Amino acid sequence: MHHFSYVGNNLHCESVDLATVAQLYGTPTYVYSAATLADNYTRLAKGLSGIDLQICYAMKANSNLAILRHFANLGAAFDLVSGGEIRRVLAAGADVKRSVFAGVGKTEPEIKLALENEVFAFHVESEPELARINHVAGKLGVKAPIAIRINPDVDAHTHAKITTGKSDNKFGIPLKFAAAAYEAAAKFPNIAIKGVQMHIGSQLTDVNPFVEAVSKVAPFVAELKAKYGITYFSIGGGIGIVYKDALASGQQSWWDNQPADKRPLTPEVYGAALLPLLKPLGLKILLEPGRNLVGNAGVLLSRVEYLKRGNGRNFLIVDAAMNDLVRPAMYESYHEIVPLHRDTTRPALVADIVGPICESGDCFAKERQLQQVGEGEYIAFMSGGAYGYAMASRYNTRGTAAEVLVKGSTFELVNARESFETIIANEKIPAFLK
Ligand SMILES: *Cc1c(COP(=O)(O)O)cnc(C)c1O
């Protein structure tokens, strides 16, 4: 469910006409719905009620300060993957003390920053990392709280670039070596064993891989509790969202019309399947959802620049590009594309929807059918809230897009479009070329 729909023939986010936003702030611009963000969070929390739950929003999906503050206000902690993300949480006025620090390549300065801010735990991915955390904690005279990431060797059946729980991925420690890793951890004087972690992949639309992974790891979790008195089990993130039919999926009627076995994964189904496996462990359960909390809560607005009629192929050239939204180029992802102004009397157009960047990969959709739209009209890329702005680059000296947050009938710019001056601010011509 989300809060994007046509009111009359104009696409709205909550009660705001998106064309108004596009005209005011220009394009490309990301627009997020505060109501959708809140709904996604509360639904997930409710889906797993009855256990001691700590939701750590995986902020790499979308780390805008306004979104961080919104989730913090709702009670969320964060899943952090860099020193920059730790500093973002602080800048948002939120708490690092309930947040976890993940990632395979934590540097010494990052470990120090996390310890100074009393991070809830480090999610450790290797034995050399354990040694490094122990070393930094020793220098600070503290004990570092840790959990080891287990790789359960479960196939998440998702895109190769976002599957993480197979034995050939770089992530985690295989289950059969995990007991030895904990024994090694227990010997370090400045390490405190607190929990256990796993994360099997992203954009999962079926609950079974989650069930398989939790079932596989649960006996080991119980052992760790008995042996080291661990207090929590983090089952990671990965719950998928709807990309096809994204606009329609905002309506309850759409869900009601899907056959039960074809329905995308919901927080309710996820909770119902996992609660019976998690409850008996008697531990705090951490979730690290990223995409599921923000994905359907954002759209990318773009302006049509040209309709180029080619040899048997049409190209709709828009002002958004792969530097703004890289998912189609990087993961062959599908984003639904809709006009901001709907006109059912117009003929359909079949076109490749492309950006202006000098790469054939700068293509959002091939032979996509949509209502005919012309120069100066606006379109929206649906389901752009996760891994959209967060993965933006400045390729082709294009500044990053603006970001806007909507709440009811109000909206505010929460990130200004990047100016040319900021793009080149740190560059200089060396003296020997002058
Ligand atoms: C990326 C990541 C997440 C979030 O994944 P989503 O698919 O966006 O929910 C959670 N935990 C870890 C360790 C991650 O790397």
DSSP-assigned letter for residue 215: H
- Residue 114 corresponds to which tokens in the numbers above? 């996390």
What is the distance in A from the centroid of ligand 1 to the CA of 104? 13
Place of tokens 């998702």: 158
Ligand 1 site residues, Cβ closer than 6 angstroms: 58, 60-61, 79, 102, 199, 202, 236-238, 288-292
- CB atoms inside a 10 Å sphere around CB 197: 26
CA nearest to 41, candidates 13, 69, 15: 69
Give me the residues paired with residue 236 across strands: none
pLDDT of residue 260: 85
Query: pTM of the prediction?
Result: 0.96
pLDDT along the chain (434 residues), means of 10: 97 98 98 98 97 98 98 98 98 96 97 98 96 98 97 80 68 92 97 97 94 96 98 97 97 93 93 97 98 98 95 94 97 96 95 94 96 96 98 97 98 98 97 96
pLDDT of residue 311: 84
CA angle 247, 249, 253 (to 5 degrees): 120
Q: Which residues contact 295 (CB under 8 A, 6 or more apart)?
A: 61, 241, 383, 384, 385, 386, 387
Return binding residues: 238, 288-291, 327, 331, 359, 387
CA angle 336, 339, 345 (to 5 degrees): 120
CA nearest to 68, candidates 44, 93, 45, 100: 93
Domains belonging to the chain, first-starting first, are 34-291 (3.20.20.10), 296-423 (2.40.37.10)
CA angle 176, 178, 181 (to 5 degrees): 135
Handedness of CA 77, 83, 87, 90 (dihedral sign): positive
Active site residue 363: no
What is the distance in A from the centroid of ligand 1 to the CA of 13? 26
pLDDT digits 0-9 by tens, 116-167: 999 999 999 999 999 999 999 999 999 999 999 999 988 877 666 666 666 6
- Sequence-ordered alpha helix ranges (H) in 117-174: 127-140
Phi, psi of 261 (to 5 degrees): -80, -5
- Residue 56 corresponds to which tokens in the numbers above? 């750590």
397: left (phi > 0), else alpha (psi -120 to 50), else beta?
left
Ligand 1: residue whose CA is nearest its atom 3: 237
Average pLDDT of the residues of the chain: 96
Q: How far apart are CA 202 and CA 292, in angstroms?
A: 10
Give me the residues paired with residue 179 across strands: none
H/E element, 47: helix 34-47
Atom of ligand 1 lying closest to residue 203 CA? 7
Ligand 1: residue of 199, 292, 327, 387 to mutate (most ligand atoms within 8 A of CB) is: 199
Atom of ligand 1 lying closest to residue 149 CA? 13
pLDDT of residue 269: 95
Ligand 1: residue of 40, 44, 59, 60 to mutate (most ligand atoms within 8 A of CB) is: 60
pLDDT of residue 142: 98
pLDDT of residue 167: 65
pLDDT of residue 222: 98
